[in-house]
Amino acid sequence: MRPTPYVASLRIYEPLSAFEPVDRIRWQNIDTSIDSRKEEQALALRRLVFPEPPAVRPDGAHVLDINNIRYVCPWSTATRCWAALDDFKESLPSSITPFFIPPSLEEVITTGVDLLEDRVPHIITENWVIPPRWFSLYIPEERVHGIDEDGPFSIARTTMAKARERTESSHEIVLSAFGPGPVEQEIENMLDWLELFHPESLVELDYGGLASYLDGALRSQGQDGLNDDSSIEDVAFSLSGLQAGDGAIAGQGYERLVSRWRAVQAFESAI
């Protein structure tokens, strides 16, 4: 069981050469046999019990070695903590937020934030569901699933060039079909995020612990677990319908996707 089984992640792995020399030295010696995903999640849980300023602690990173090139995805812990706090504070009136986040805890989270050189995280996460726009970054052949020591897993990975091209296409299709709005804006925001990184980066979607829930939900419906997960195909099918001006096709793909992930979200209320 993963430490945080309800989290899915979208990660950017930049070539080691894209980082500052001091970071290159630190990350070129990382042992890739260590499960950095588990370490990152375990540290996140420890911080819930023993809060500490994330900006004043050396951060970790995920590493991939592919074709003799090392790619690095920093955890960006301080940046993500700061961004999450900022988003939460914007979602509620200022008179309400202290009831959820005491000033003492906010001080812990923001200590050292002014020292951050880069407030753009290499990782964004979602709990209990994966946004449809994430699936639009990939084609089925880029997806790998199976079972490891933590249970079922599902990972999709593509190049930055392909991810940007597909996001631009999705944005154009949605904008033409619906005009400016929340969905179009979310896709545009994702494209803006992708364009901040090295053009030779890799973009990875990791279902995380949601793979186990999805596998179980599909099997309970008489399907072959993750082997019958067609989330990438459903989003592509829906986009093709929008592009062709066929609302029925677009709706079919979207409904299949939503129905599948609604079953995963149901586990949240059951726990």
pLDDT in tens, 29-69: 887 777 777 777 666 655 554 555 554 556 688 999 999 99
Q: What is the pLDDT of residue 42?
A: 64
Among 254, 10, 253, 266, CA closest to 130: 10
Task: Provide the Cα torsion 215, 127, 197, 61; round to 10°.
Answer: -80
Helix (H, G, I), strand (E, B) or coil at 184: helix
The pLDDT assigned to 248 comes to: 94
- C-alpha closest to that of 120 among 159, 82, 165: 82
Please compute the mean of the pLDDT values over residues 162-191 and round it to a whole number: 96
Mean pLDDT of 158-182: 96
Q: Is the pLDDT of residue 214 over 80?
A: yes
CA distances from residue 10 to 22, 66, 93, 100, 208 in whole angstroms, order as listed: 25, 19, 29, 27, 10
pLDDT for residue 150: 86
**What is the rounded distance in angstroms from the CA atom of residue 195 to the CA atom of residue 174?**
19
User: Quick check: 167 pLDDT over 80?
Assistant: yes
Residues contacting 175, CB < 8 A, separation 6+: 184
pLDDT at 176: 95
109-148 pLDDT tens trace: 566 555 555 567 899 999 899 999 999 999 999 999 999 8
pLDDT of 92 above 90:
no
Q: How far apart are CA 109 and CA 103, in angstroms?
A: 10
pLDDT value of residue 79: 61
Alpha carbon of residue 197 to chain centroid: 15
> What's the confidence (pLDDT) of residue 205?
98
Q: Are 110 and 82 in contact (CB under 8 A)?
A: yes
Average pLDDT, the chain: 85
Residue 75, pLDDT score:
83
- Condensed to tens digits (0 to 9), the pLDDT of residues 231-270 reads 999 999 999 999 999 999 999 999 999 999 999 998 877 5
Query: Three-state SS for 57?
Result: coil
Q: What pLDDT does 147 receive?
A: 94
pLDDT for res 26: 84
Q: What is the pLDDT of residue 149?
A: 86
Provide the pLDDT for residue 222.
Answer: 95
What is the rounded average pLDDT of the residues 208-232? 95
